[in-house]
Amino acid sequence: MSTLARIRSAHRIHIIGSPGAGKSTLAQRLSTELGLPVFHLDLIAYEGPEFTERPLAFRSARVTEITSLTGWITEGIFIGWTQPLLDEAELIIWLDYLRWRRAAARITLRTFRTALREVTLRRGTQRFFRFRDYRRNFRQLLLVLSSSREYWDGGSPNASSYPATREELDLVLREYAGKVIHITERRDAQMLAELLKPRISG
């Protein structure tokens, strides 16, 4: 069975991979193609504009709720508390084709797009007096850029600030090798994204 056929026949899909690899975009396209709900793990792991970490009990409970559904798509870079998702997933798509410089550029662009969307939601003069928001967005960008590099370089076990390193992810996913689709080339990721674009009927 081809990779695309495996994806289109699946009802429980977990997407994991490097920062900036396009996990959210792929999840949304799969949702459109397959009619499955998407759960973004960042929204389960953190809350509020300062990205405050939620308690482990909350995260575990949400994962249990998701795995009780007949069909779902999850995406995120977390390990440990997400193991039930790995256990129950029919497919695990590992986006593993990016390197640091390309990821940093994507993360920066995504942050500016998010800030721009915030501006459009403001009304009147509020759009132009958002200095606290600007500082927050800039601070978050610096934090994500500095911590996400640990994905490739690894971090001190006692000082790691990113949810997982590539080495840790590799070790975890070896246990699920039979259901992992490992995307290691950018052209393969682009081809997959093109094939999963919403099709226009008519």
Q: What is the pLDDT of residue 88?
A: 98
Query: Can you tell me the distance from the alpha carbon of 152 to that of 3, in angstroms, rounded to the nearest whole number?
Result: 26
**Domain contains 11:** yes
Is 53 in a helix, a strand, or coil?
strand
**Domain contains 75:** yes
Query: Can you tell me the distance from the alpha carbon of 93 to that of 98, in angstroms, rounded to the nearest whole number?
Result: 14
Per the model's pLDDT, the better-predicted residue between 97 and 143 turns out to be 97
**Domain contains 78:** yes
pLDDT band at 202 (very low <50, low <70, confident <90, very high): very low
To 10 degrees, what angle do helices 186-195 and 23-34 make? 30
| Letter string b/e over residues 71-108, b meaning 16 or more CB atoms within 10 A of that residue's CB | ebbbbbbbbebbeebbebbebbbbbbbbebeebbebbe
**Domain contains 200:** no
Considering only CA atoms, give the Rg of the chain. 18
- Residues 31-57: tens digit of each pLDDT: 999 999 999 999 999 997 777 899 999
% of residues, the chain, pLDDT over 90: 46
Q: What is the pLDDT of residue 117?
A: 61
Query: Residue 152's domain spans which residues?
Result: 3-195
Q: What is the pLDDT of residue 201?
A: 42
CATH of the domain at 20: 3.40.50
Mean pLDDT throughout 88-110? 83
**Domain contains 22:** yes
Does position 82 have pLDDT exceeding 80, yes or no?
yes
**Domain contains 201:** no
**For the chain, how many structural domains are there in total?**
1
Does position 148 have pLDDT exceeding 80, yes or no?
no
Note if the pTM is more than 0.85: no
pLDDT band at 158 (very low <50, low <70, confident <90, very high): low
pLDDT band at 155 (very low <50, low <70, confident <90, very high): low
Query: Can you tell me the distance from the alpha carbon of 137 to that of 111, in angstroms, rounded to the nearest whole number?
Result: 7
Which segment of 45-49, 59-63, 65-69, 77-81 scores lowest on mean pLDDT? 45-49
